[in-house]
Amino acid sequence: MKLSKQYSMYQSEHTKFIAELKAKNPGIEQGQREGRALLWDKAPTLLSDQDRNAESRVRQQAYVYQNKL
């Protein structure tokens, strides 16, 4: 389905807003990449470290607010 030339250059208000924001703050994308790397992109861990972490984990009871008598 081809759109007419009238609609081929259409940009929504949201697209215009994002383009304007990026024009005002050229470093915004780099800041987003740095934030993602800080929170989500983690270095791989060794299997020995994973095993040690799994063994040292304290098992939690099913309902934490109920004390065992």
Per-residue pLDDT of the chain (69 residues; tens, 9 = 90+): 566 666 678 899 999 999 999 999 999 999 999 999 998 888 888 999 999 999 999 887 788 787 766
> Are the C-beta atoms of residues 22 and 29 closer than 8 Å to each other?
yes
How far from each other are the two terminal CA atoms of the chain, in whole angstroms?
A: 71
Closest to 54 measured CA to CA, from 43, 42, 46: 46
**pTM, to two decimals:** 0.47
Q: Can you state the angle between helices 28-39 and 13-24, rounded to 10 degrees?
A: 90
